[in-house]
């Protein structure tokens, strides 16, 4: 990833190898149409599948949004041609049990259960499961789900040590995710309505002037 692309990517958990190259190609395309990249993953599923996980800035992602992203990134991928073999493009939302890739993700889902893997040993461990108790500028405080004998009930994990993190599906998570999604959709609908009203107002002014 180039320095410019790296600066534009605010994710703390990023791809490597061919996935990183693909991310560098699709990220500016997504940004230009109002989406942000969550994850890129090339897998051997169904021959070869390129999975692009994305969302709008407000965290929503509809089926229509997935189709829009697919239409936008396909030409860029065709031009750059980072994958030598034929592949199937699959665009999806992050889902409720989503991967956490930005500092803002950890802050937004404070209080929820997460599975996490680190790149270095943190207190003799690399795998953790627990609730996000706090998320600040440097890292998170995790309340262990089941602390082993002699372990502290909480552990602080710096962001630069996190290799992978994903929310764990719980009833509380489902309720909050649906609530957030409903609020975001209402806000988006309200903004679209205001934009349409403003456009109609400008059109009326133009007609009066003519």
Residue 199 has pLDDT above 70, yes or no: no
Cα(85)–Cα(82) distance, rounded to whole angstroms?
9
What's the pLDDT score for residue 193?
A: 79
pTM of the model: 0.83
14, 55 contact by CB (below 8 A): no
**pLDDT tens by residue, 141-193:** 999 998 888 889 999 999 999 999 999 999 999 999 998 888 888 887 887 77
Q: Are 116 and 162 in contact (CB under 8 A)?
A: yes
């Amino acid at each position: 990833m180039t320095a410019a692309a790296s600066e534009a990517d605010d994710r703390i958990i990023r791809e490597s190898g061919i996935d990183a190259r693909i991310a560098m190609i699709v990220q500016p395309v997504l940004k230009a149409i109002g989406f942000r990249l969550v994850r890129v993953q090339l897998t051997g599923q169904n021959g070869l599948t390129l999975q692009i996980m994305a969302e709008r800035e407000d965290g929503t992602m509809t089926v229509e949004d997935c189709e829009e992203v697919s239409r936008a990134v396909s030409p860029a991928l065709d031009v750059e041609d980072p994958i030598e073999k034929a592949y199937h493009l699959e665009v999806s939302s992050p889902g409720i049990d989503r991967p956490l890739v930005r500092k803002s993700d950890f802050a937004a889902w404070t209080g929820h259960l997460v599975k996490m893997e680190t790149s270095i040993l943190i207190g003799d461990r690399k795998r953790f499961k627990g609730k996000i108790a706090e998320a600040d500028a440097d890292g998170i405080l995790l309340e262990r789900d089941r602390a082993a004998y002699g372990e502290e009930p909480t552990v602080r994990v710096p962001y630069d040590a996190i290799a992978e993190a994903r929310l764990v599906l719980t009833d509380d998570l489902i309720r909050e995710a649906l609530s957030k999604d409903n609020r975001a959709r209402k806000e988006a609908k309200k903004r679209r309505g205001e934009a349409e009203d403003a456009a109609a107002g400008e059109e009326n002014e133009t007609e009066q002037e003519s």
